[in-house]
């Protein structure tokens, strides 16, 4: 008996192939809807989006569908808090931005209008004939300057410090704690310390032998220097913590291969470290841009008012967009709401652009 005949005989004893759903149910079947069929006492699950065949299971309880109410019950406290403290204020602010002469205490208004946006941009005058100049001349430029300077500088410094800390084995925990202290320190207290350091008779002028007026009564652009330094110094700790955790998760084999190839440290930083940290860097850039656009506490901490002369400033040269909102919240609520909505749109556009740009630069 040949080998071929032996295999032919053996193949006759094999079990027939299992038929698929299409072969087993070749006849026409009606369209099914996914779910529980009470008449047939079955749970129907669709095989595919385009398939008209259904998979039926008998005697199995749909636990997921039955316990949906429990999931909603667990989420209810968070949903209520989000609705009360986030969704309602957002919708209410958008509504107030389009009202005319909105009364903060009573909630009364004279009608709907678009002039609140043109008023804060200085395009139209108010009902009393006043023209708003502070928002365009100070609030928007100051905030934009804070964003484009403090965010890149603080992110780059945080990356360099995190890389240095990651290479230090001794005293690493102590140094992490020292660098993280500004993040948990009271903002107003830190602002007072910076005010003393940058005082006319303070440490900075003493070290450099100058008599420059940095804060109280200073020129707008001179006062920007301590303001930027204060914002950068306060935003670095959290970035260091995030980047350091990302660095510790990078596989050491990449650095070992670079060491074997004798790659310079600058190339290792920009060709290995930065690409592998791109998800953390994207997260920090997005949150930092949002935080910089909403900057308010730094101005209060340093200047205690909208200008370099504090609350008595007639020239509100240190205004930011959020400071403008707080400054007009009770006296001109509609304009404050319009500024808040405009800030929301700006942040939304910036965030969308960052997500779009990150598609080619971020590696997960």
Model pTM score: 0.76
Would you state the pLDDT for residue 46? 57
Residue 33 lies in a domain: yes
Same domain, 159 and 306: yes
Would you state the pLDDT for residue 337? 94
Residue 12 lies in a domain: no
Q: Which residues of the chain have pLDDT under 50?
A: 1-28, 49-51, 55, 57-58
Same domain, 160 and 234: yes
Same domain, 175 and 101: no
Q: How many domains does the chain have?
A: 3
243 near 280, Cβ under 8 Å?
A: yes
Residue 353 lies in a domain: no
The pLDDT tens digits of the residues spanning 71-95 come to: 888 999 999 999 999 999 999 999 9
Would you state the pLDDT for residue 168? 82
Would you state the pLDDT for residue 18? 45
Would you state the pLDDT for residue 224? 95
Q: Where are the alpha helices (DSSP H) in the chain?
A: 3-12, 21-24, 63-66, 68-82, 88-97, 115-120, 134, 140-167, 172-184, 187-197, 203-208, 220-247, 252-260, 265-268, 274-276, 278-293, 297-303, 321-327, 333-358
- The token duo for 154 is 């603080």
Return phi, psi of residue 106, to 5°: -95, -20
Residue 348 lies in a domain: no
**Can you give the residue range of the structural domain that contains 187?**
134-327
Would you state the pLDDT for residue 25? 47
Return phi, psi of residue 44, to 5°: -100, 130
């Amino acid at each position: 008996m040949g080998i071929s005949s032996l295999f032919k005989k053996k193949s006759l004893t094999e079990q027939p192939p299992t038929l698929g759903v299409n072969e087993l149910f070749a006849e026409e079947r009606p369209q099914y809807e996914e779910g529980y069929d009470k008449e047939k006492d079955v749970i129907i699950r669709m095989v595919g989006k385009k398939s008209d065949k259904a998979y039926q299971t008998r005697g199995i309880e749909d636990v997921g569908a039955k316990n949906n109410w429990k999931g909603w019950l667990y989420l209810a406290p968070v949903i209520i808090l989000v609705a009360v403290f986030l969704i309602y204020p957002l919708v209410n602010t958008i509504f107030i931005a389009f009202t005319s002469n909105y009364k903060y205490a009573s909630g009364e208004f004279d009608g709907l209008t678009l002039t609140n946006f043109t008023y804060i941009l200085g395009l139209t005058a108010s009902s009393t004939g006043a023209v708003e100049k502070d928002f365009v001349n100070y609030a928007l430029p100051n905030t934009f300057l804070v964003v484009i300077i403090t965010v890149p500088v603080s992110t780059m410094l945080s990356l360099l410090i995190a890389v240095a800390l990651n290479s230090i084995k001794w005293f690493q925990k102590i140094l992490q704690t020292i660098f993280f202290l500004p993040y948990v320190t009271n903002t107003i207290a830190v602002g007072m310390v910076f005010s003393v350091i940058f005082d006319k008779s303070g440490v900075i002028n003493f070290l450099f032998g100058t008599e420059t007026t940095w804060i109280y009564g200073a020129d707008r652009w001179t006062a920007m220097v301590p303001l930027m330094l204060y914002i950068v110094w306060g935003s670095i700790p959290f970035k260091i913590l995030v980047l350091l955790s990302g660095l510790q998760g990078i596989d050491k084999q990449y650095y070992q291969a670079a060491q074997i190839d004798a790659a310079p440290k600058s190339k290792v930083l920009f060709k290995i470290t930065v690409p592998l940290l791109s998800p953390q860097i994207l997260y920090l850039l997005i949150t930092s841009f949002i935080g910089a656009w909403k900057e308010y506490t730094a101005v209060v901490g340093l200047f205690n008012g909208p200008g370099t002369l504090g609350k008595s400033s007639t020239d509100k040269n240190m205004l930011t967009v959020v400071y403008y909102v707080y400054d007009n919240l009770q006296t001109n609520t509609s304009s404050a709401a319009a500024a808040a909505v405009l800030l929301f749109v700006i942040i939304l556009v910036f965030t969308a652009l960052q997500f779009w740009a990150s598609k080619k630069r971020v590696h997960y």
